[in-house]
Structure 1
Amino acid sequence: MSAFLPLARSALYSPVWLVPFDDHARRVRSAGVEARLERFDDEGGSDGQGGWLPLDDRAVRTPSGHLAFPGLGRRAEPWAARPERHRVRFEAAGYQPLYPADGEPFSAALVGVEFLVYPYDNTNPPAVEASPRLVRLLPGTAFPYPPGVRTVRGVVLDAATRAPVANALVEAGGRTGQDLTPWHERTLSDATGAFRLALRWEGEKATENTTEETFLVEATERPGRAGSLTVRLPQEAERRHVIEIREQ
């Protein structure tokens, strides 16, 4: 399906195509996912700083699991309008959205998928063609893990101020013991800095017969600010782990 459909069907064009992806189940997920659209008002309010305004446009779910906003940017005189900055924020029970795209540096300050909406009409297509964008949904602290899934919990703190660090990326990785297949688990800290991370795969072992497994758990607030600790299982399964964020 073309991103821009001419003439009467051009109202179907969407400047953004978002694909919600359940990072734990490793599959596309659109059921139970809400996408809230906002526009940036750069004229500013009383403080002159501008701000994000919620919009009433509702996302449309396509058969392929994409979320789109058909008709967004359509204008009677597109040549007289300029591109407008928008963002989409996701909500899904038990999940927290990871907003940087794959391959982009993580930053806890990102709170939505931002994009420009270019004006268009039936005969003047938008200046930029949209392409699908994967948005990963990570398990949050309230995620309903199936019975038997091993998890560790803790909190992410600023090493200097001891203040909780919200929306920090907490992750662990390694290789399976049998076939050395890479694995990667991740979550995001909540507003209080708390996290709950699944460790479904085997950690490192000192010898083949030992029962102790070790995992390196890392937390990132933004490039240059991170922290890590070693978790030993099963000994520390019930411990509340503290990861301190500091300048690297």
Structure 2
Amino acid sequence: MSAFLPLARSTLHSPVWLVPFDDHARLVRPAGVAVRLERFDDTDGWVALDDRAVRTPSGALAFPGLGRRSEPWTVPPERHRALFTAPGYLPLYPADDQPFAAGLVGVEFLVHAYDDTHPPAVETAPRLVRMLPAVSYPYAPGVRTVHGVVVDAATRAPVANALVEAAGHTGDDLTPWQERTLADATGAFRLALRWEGEKAADNPAEETFRLEAVERPGRAGALTVRLPQDASRRHVIEIREQ
């Protein structure tokens, strides 16, 4: 697991800038986040590297010096990936503009060789890495949550790393809200429901939420949760082809 170094040298030529973002608290939160770097080798597959991440004053994690070569024109771009871990969190690896896929491992990027007279061929920009609450996330006192498991509808096998979501609008001003979490290796999830759900005119004390789980495009499942009566129930979301 890579430790963090103080910002003691320039990060001008880091091939990647990654910003850990607490998706529940809506805050940049690099503290407590560990990152491991790997490079793809045609023979051995993904190989762990010893490069250590530098935390910048803005909260980004960078790898200054990665890609520096004595003869950069002789080295083709190399595939790398960064893998994140943090207590109470699971990383959401697809970028915001990409469809979700539970099988995606790490943030992949290309490293272009450079030296002092041959700058990197591609400029980089910071990218958020959204850290979603895991089952063990320390929700604040009073935050209501629902829990359960995501399974394959046919085999009943747990679906690891499935994205579980609930969304809606606030009752007063119809502001959209969204809650998200990721299932762990056993398919278990715990999702916060901080906002009001839909209310029926004949029973305003009951709130209804629709939980959706996605494994990848074309494989998803959903169920309806009613609070407060379903608060302690173990909910099972079945994933199937859509």
**TM-score bucket (shorter structure):** over 0.9
> Normalized per residue, which structure has more strand?
2
Closer/same/farther in 2, CA of residues 11 and 140 from structure 1, 3 Å limit: closer
TM-score, length-normalised on structure 1? 0.92
Structure 2 equivalent of residue 28 of structure 1: 28
| Segments of 4+ moved more than 2 angstroms | 9-12
Deviation at 1:209, TM superposition (A): 5.8
Select which of 33, 49, 56 maps to 1:62. 56
Q: SS at the partner of 1:211? A: strand
Structure 2 equivalent of residue 212 of structure 1: 206
Matches within 5 A, 1:103-182: 103-182=97-176
Matches within 5 A, 1:164-243: 164-207=158-201, 210-243=204-237
**2:166, 2:233 → 1: CA distance?**
17
Root-mean-square deviation over aligned CA pairs: 1.2
Between the aligned residues of both structures, percent identity stands at 77
5+ residue gaps, structure 2, are 1-8
5+ residue gaps, structure 1, are 1-8, 45-49
**2:177, 2:12 → 1: CA distance?**
39
Closer/same/farther in 2, CA of residues 79 and 198 from structure 1, 3 Å limit: same
**1:158-215 CA distance string (max 9 Å, x none):** 0011000000000000011111111000000000000000000000001286101000
**1:187, 1:207 → 2: CA distance?**
30
Structure 2 equivalent of residue 39 of structure 1: 39
**1:10, 1:22 → 2: CA distance?**
26
**1:18, 1:38 → 2: CA distance?**
15
**1:196-239 CA distance string (max 9 Å, x none):** 00000000001286101000000000000000000000010010
TM-score, length-normalised on structure 2? 0.94
**2:216, 2:145 → 1: CA distance?**
24
> When the two structures are aligned, how many residues end up with a matched partner?
234
**1:73-100 CA distance string (max 9 Å, x none):** 0000001111110000001100000000
Kept in 2, the 8 Å contact 1:10–1:122? The answer is no
